[in-house]
Copies of this chain bind each other. A is one copy, B any other.
């Protein structure tokens, strides 16, 4: 007789659910599929040569140290570099503000582990980043949604949601996943002020901020918070910032960071110690070698040019091929467009037909903590080449037309 493993699982195991997106990605991994599904960077612009040269230099210069255990906080020169990179407009960070993580996903997990108790209310944008919901639910999180429009989170509606009690506010301020929308400058100021009024920390998750195709960058929530506080010392406010090298260098290296007040970093370091001891010394040193030579800044220019081109191809194809009554967002950066189909179209039905035609996207519902968004879809434009983008949109348009006007069998 085999053991009944299921009887052995913890209560939180029921709350650990697979991501529909990850499952979809497995199906659509095959090369004949055109995927607008994942949030994958364009492999054509990965800095393979730079990683190769950096690996060589790191092993030649640091040899054994690159292969040895290292401190949980992260490789000190990389922490310093990140602190300097983020310090601007009155925001001052030093290495004690930085914890290096094994990608941004780990940052979410560490924060969930440290902060989230059973039945804690977490305030999120509606829709919000799916993996955050999945990561924090097993720790007991419940979610309260703030609406979001073309200017991002509708901060006017924040106070009544925070009033009963809230543990954290979570948001993606730039080119949000899934809608691609950016929180406007006035709303950023209001968000920071209201959060402070209610004494609720903000988790500012910003993997896409550097992928701006046009327009001026807006100050980060942490910057705004620091400016209002006029801290003389290293940042000690109430924003926790998450960042990552995944979208600007390479996700396969799994290097990200948390920026926060030093005593929060200290406690998160203990959490990380029990979680994976430390992030790979070797990949941290490789990343540091690349960024400290200014290679990343130049590389971001290459990515931005390519993604802008792909976005424009997708926008043109949508305009040309998608049926009337469909609307979509025109974004200034990031990796996603958000499409709203006519109210009577179920995006999951469109997906069924689309998969038969070997094209994938993610329906909008899973991104809504409240189950809304039935007629919405997230389209990634960074991963497919321009030719395949046009072909994929053509197939999607046919699938939508079929759902709108089913040909009776």
Contact = CB atoms under 8 A, between A and B. Distances in A.
A280 interface: yes
A105 B275 contact: yes
A250 B64 CA distance: 9
B55 A59 contact: yes
A261 interface: yes
How many copies the complex holds: the figure is 2
B281 A252 contact: yes
Given A13-B267, A280-B283, A67 B251 contact: yes
A85 interface: no
Interface in A37-72: 38, 40-41, 43-44, 46-48, 51-52, 55-56, 59-60, 63-72
Given A2-B236, A117-B10, A66 B252 contact: yes
A68 B43 CA distance: 7
Interface string A21-45: 0100010000000000010110110
A39 B218 CA distance: 47
A109 interface: yes
19 contacts: A2-B238, A9-B114, A9-B115, A10-B116, A12-B117, A22-B273, A41-B68, A43-B68, A46-B63, A46-B64, A48-B64, A51-B59, A51-B67, A52-B56, A55-B55, A102-B102, A134-B273, A250-B282, A254-B278
Interface of A: 2-3, 5, 8-13, 16-19, 22, 26, 38, 40-41, 43-44, 46-48, 51-52, 55-56, 59-60, 63-72, 102-103, 105-106, 109, 113-117, 120, 131, 134-135, 138-139, 167, 199, 201, 236-238, 246, 249-254, 261, 263-264, 267, 270-271, 273-283
Given A66-B252, A135-B274, 9 more contacts: A16-B267, A22-B72, A68-B250, A68-B252, A102-B254, A103-B277, A106-B276, A252-B280, A280-B283
